[in-house]
Amino acid sequence: MSAPSPYLPTPGFARWRKAKSTAVTAVLVLCALAVIAPLFLVIYFLLVQGWSSLDLNFFTQLPKPTGESGGGMANAIVGTIELLAMASVVGVPLGILGGIYLAEYGSDRGNDWLRFAADVLNGVPSIVWGMVIYLVLVVPFKGFSAYAGGVALGLMMVPLVMRTTEEVLILVPQSYREAALALGVARWKVIMVIVVRTALKGIATGVIVALARIAGETAPLLFTALGNNFWNHNLKEPIAALPLQIFAYAISPYDDWHRQAWAGALVLMALILALNITVRVLSRDRRKSS
Amino acid sequence: MSAVPTPSTILPAPGSKVPDLAFKWVAALAAATIVALIVLVGWQLYAGSRQSIAHFGLGFLWSSEWDPVQDKYGALPFIFGTLVSSLIALVIAVPLGVATALFLTELAPLKLRQPIVMAIEMLAAVPSVIFGLWGIFILIPWLRDHLFVWLKHTLGFLPLFQGPIYGVSMLAAGIIIAIMILPIITSISREILRSVPNLQREAAYALGATRWEVLKIAVLSYARRGLFGAAILGLGRALGETMAVTMVIGNRPQISASLFAPGYTLASVIANEFAEATTDLYLNSLFELGLVLLGVTILVNIAAQLMLKSMTKGGPIKVS
């Protein structure tokens, strides 16, 4: 093929360009399919492998010792919920108050730095949190504990909750604040009673997003909560968690434990999906009302 | 003068300023914890690794010996494993992620966009440990029996694709990480592409460009820097991935040219050996690995933030 004139493309060249464009379009479609395919593959195998292993025992019994089949992960399910509750106690107040500072008090320059710091903190690998909490809460108190696990997860929540809180507080119209201040209401009351109340749903959404993010975290729990094959009756003792149990069972050599790991993964995924669906419902309401 | 009511009769008595100030300071303190936490994390890792820093010095970083029995530790195999697995992930995830973002912003019918975005968000919600479980029992057997065999057959002349196939390998880890960083790369790329002004596209179309030429000339070249930032942000995530990688990489501290060979990463050696570190020096060395990991991820994240910021603020002429 002779070189086409740069000014008056030949019909052949035009066809070639169109063909190339169509080809690229097809490639882009294939790429998009390739990106969502893993999601469906993971969910498919979770359902296939996990569903058949799920039974009532899984939700009511403790793990059986090696070699015995049966048993369940009741303690790990409860443990995960306890850890999430403790994480919320640590992470939610810190995150919300930090967000209030950013939205209501901070100076532009200072806020830029704080946001930057929050993004950096958000990027700290989760395994590093585990090591740090090990030094801060496990070594001094001479033992792995549920507290340490909860704090590790809670601190991971702080930057997430802080950023979302700031974002929703900024959306509250300035006139609300001015109206309340003009009535002589103290600033802190304006913030707590007017601003935060107005944005409550958004803040709750942010908290649930953060919870969904940390619910499946394993690495920060490895050297803090440690895991436990029995019920935890004392938060100063190690506690079981679903992700830890899944990890331990997945790398074990026993078929029965593999089965349980799939069942645990299905339950964990269902929990996280439920949290995400809650977020969707909450934010849909918000969109409608505004 | 006396006819004017004093303020105290219409307004509540001006209360003390203490609650207001106290609240402000509590909030400021909470915001400051962010900075304090960064300092705490860095300091604790440093404190935890002081012995090994003193004992091995800088040589720790390029010694490839990892022998708990002899109490000799070097970080090189783990740094190598972390970098190689993350690079594989980027090579796979960046083109796929950017292509998907292009599809979502430029091509997909409006009705399809929301469901696909939702699916990608759900992919981001899958915990690492579940990817690991899936990796061990589904992905690895498939890779071992199909993809790796095929790669060895067709590209076996490259040193990258030689040697025995175990299944657990650097390449498997790279693929798992790629799946895990796809959502963030796709969503950031999508934001970037959406910020490309329509005028750019219209101008290119007006010149008679085909769809691909519009994407190439008007969209991609405009968004190049931001897309690079998205890739770097993905790298930041990839470096710190722990659980899924630990489960599929094979956990062997070696440096091998073959991607079929098992490897080890900074994060996964910590996850595996931390609880069983018997000597102080062993534990200190693991902390130093953590310090290296933290340092690298923070630098990479800062670079990504700066790049994305310059894209949104000081990019080429903004047309509103």
β-bridge partners, A71 = A63
pLDDT band at B311 (very low <50, low <70, confident <90, very high): low
CA dist B73 and B281 (Å) reads 9
Who among B125, B130, B270 is closest to A265 (CB)? B130
pLDDT band at A7 (very low <50, low <70, confident <90, very high): low
State whether B44 and A49 contact (CB < 8 Å). Answer: no
| A159 and A216 housed in the same domain | yes
pLDDT band at A11 (very low <50, low <70, confident <90, very high): confident
Q: Which two tokens stand for residue B150?
A: 């095929």
Q: Averaged over A265-277, what is the pLDDT?
A: 95
**Residue B299 confidence (pLDDT):** 95
| A20 and A107 housed in the same domain | no
> What residues of chain B lie within 8 A of the CB of A96, using their CB?
30
**Residue B309 confidence (pLDDT):** 81
Closest residue in B to A217 (Cα) is: B127
State whether A123 and B236 contact (CB < 8 Å). Answer: yes
CA dist B316 and B320 (Å) reads 12
**Residue A6 confidence (pLDDT):** 58
CB B97 within 8 A of CB B182: yes
| A63 and A150 housed in the same domain | yes
pLDDT band at A94 (very low <50, low <70, confident <90, very high): very high
Residue A187 CB neighbour total at 10 angstroms: 18
Q: Averaged over A6-30, what is the pLDDT?
A: 86
Q: Averaged over A221-246, what is the pLDDT?
A: 93
CA dist A218 and A5 (Å) reads 62
pLDDT band at B317 (very low <50, low <70, confident <90, very high): very low
**Residue A10 confidence (pLDDT):** 77
**Residue B80 confidence (pLDDT):** 96
Highest mean pLDDT among A57-66, A155-164, B156-165: A155-164
CB B38 within 8 A of CB A158: no
| A79 and A133 housed in the same domain | yes
Who among B19, B287, B293 is closest to A188 (CB)? B19
Question: Distance from B276 to chain A by nearest Cα, in Å?
Answer: 10
> What residues of chain B lie within 8 A of the CB of A140, using their CB?
none
For the packed helices A146-171 and A74-100, what is the interaxial angle rounded to 10 degrees? Answer: 40
State whether B24 and A188 contact (CB < 8 Å). Answer: yes
Please report whether residue A3 resides in a domain.
no
Please report whether residue A93 resides in a domain.
yes
State whether B34 and A159 contact (CB < 8 Å). Answer: yes
A106 lies within 8 A of chain B by CB: yes
> Among all chains, which residue has been given the structure tokens 């740069």?
A6
Q: Averaged over B156-165, what is the pLDDT?
A: 91
- Alpha carbon A39 to chain centroid, angstroms: 17
**Residue A284 confidence (pLDDT):** 78
> What residues of chain B lie within 8 A of the CB of A215, using their CB?
127
State whether A276 and B186 contact (CB < 8 Å). Answer: no
Residue of A27, A46, A108, A120 best to disrupt the B interface, most CBs of B under 10 A: A120
> What residues of chain B lie within 8 A of the CB of A98, using their CB?
27, 30-31, 33-34
Please report whether residue A107 resides in a domain.
yes
Q: Which two tokens stand for residue B16?
A: 């003390």
Number of separate domains in chain A: 2
Q: Which two tokens stand for residue A231?
A: 């019920």
A225: helix, strand or coil: coil
Question: Distance from B1 to chain A by nearest Cα, in Å?
Answer: 23
| A17 and A91 housed in the same domain | no
Is the predicted pLDDT of residue A240 greater than 60, yes or no? yes
What are B213-272's pLDDT values in tens digits?
999 999 999 999 899 999 999 999 999 999 999 999 999 999 999 999 999 999 999 999
Mean of per-residue pLDDT scores for chain B: 90
**Residue B319 confidence (pLDDT):** 30
Question: pTM to 2 decimals?
Answer: 0.91
**Residue A130 confidence (pLDDT):** 95
Q: Which of A171, A167, A161 is nearest to A204 (CA)?
A: A161
What are B256-283's pLDDT values in tens digits?
999 999 999 999 999 999 988 889 999 9
Please report whether residue A33 resides in a domain.
yes
| A39 and A69 housed in the same domain | no
What are B88-127's pLDDT values in tens digits?
999 999 999 999 999 999 999 999 999 999 999 999 999 9
| A42 and A119 housed in the same domain | no
Side-chain half-sphere of A238: how many Cα atoms within 13 Å?
17
3-state SS, A141-166, equals CCCCCHHHHHHHHHHHHHHHHHHHHH
CA dist A62 and B158 (Å) reads 51
Q: Which two tokens stand for residue B114?
A: 């929301």
β-bridge partners, B72 = B67
A187 lies within 8 A of chain B by CB: yes
Cα A179 to Cα A185, A187, A289, B9, distances in angstroms: 9, 12, 21, 20
Who among A98, A124, A184 is closest to B41 (CB)? A124
| A29 and A163 housed in the same domain | no
What are A109-121's pLDDT values in tens digits?
999 999 999 999 9
| A197 and A118 housed in the same domain | yes
Q: Which two tokens stand for residue B240?
A: 């710190």
| A23 and A118 housed in the same domain | no
Who among A97, A129, A268 is closest to B26 (CB)? A97
Question: Distance from B52 to chain A by nearest Cα, in Å?
Answer: 16
Who among B97, B236, B290 is closest to A131 (CB)? B290
Please report whether residue A45 resides in a domain.
yes
| A47 and A91 housed in the same domain | no
**What CATH number did the domain enclosing A204 receive?**
1.10.3720.10
State whether A125 and B186 contact (CB < 8 Å). Answer: no
Side-chain half-sphere of B288: how many Cα atoms within 13 Å?
25
Q: DSSP of B106-139, one letter per residue?
A: IIS-HHHHHHHHHHHHHHHHS-HHHHHHHIIIII
Question: Distance from A65 to chain B by nearest Cα, in Å?
Answer: 21
Range of the domain at A227: 59-289
Residue of B126, B184, B299 best to disrupt the A interface, most CBs of A under 10 A: B126
Please report whether residue A222 resides in a domain.
yes
B227: helix, strand or coil: helix
String of b and e for A133-161 (b: at least 16 CB within 10 Å)?
A: bbbbbbeeeeebbbbbbbbbbbbbbbbbb
CB proximity under 8 Å: A 34-63 to B: 34-36, 38-39, 41-42, 45-46, 49
**Residue B95 confidence (pLDDT):** 97
- Alpha carbon B213 to chain centroid, angstroms: 31
Q: Which of B180, B173, B244, B249 is nearest to A265 (CA)?
A: B244
Question: Distance from B309 to chain A by nearest Cα, in Å?
Answer: 11
pLDDT band at B5 (very low <50, low <70, confident <90, very high): low
> What residues of chain A lie within 8 A of the CB of B213, using their CB?
17, 21
Please report whether residue A2 resides in a domain.
no
**Dihedral pair phi/psi, residue B244, rounded to 5°:** -60, -40
State whether B37 and A158 contact (CB < 8 Å). Answer: yes
**Residue B318 confidence (pLDDT):** 31
State whether B129 and A250 contact (CB < 8 Å). Answer: yes
Question: Distance from B224 to chain A by nearest Cα, in Å?
Answer: 18
Mean of per-residue pLDDT scores for chain A: 91
CA dist B14 and A185 (Å) reads 10
State whether B242 and A34 contact (CB < 8 Å). Answer: no
| A178 and A271 housed in the same domain | yes
Give long-range contacts, CB 8 A cutoff, 24+ apart: B218-225.
B219/B102, B219/B106, B219/B193, B220/B102, B222/B196, B222/B316, B223/B189, B223/B192, B223/B193, B223/B195, B223/B196, B223/B311, B225/B307, B225/B310, B225/B311, B225/B315
Q: Which of A73, A15, A22, A84 is nearest to A242 (CA)?
A: A73
**Residue B50 identity (one-letter amino acid):** R
**Residue B314 confidence (pLDDT):** 42
> What residues of chain A lie within 8 A of the CB of B104, using their CB?
32
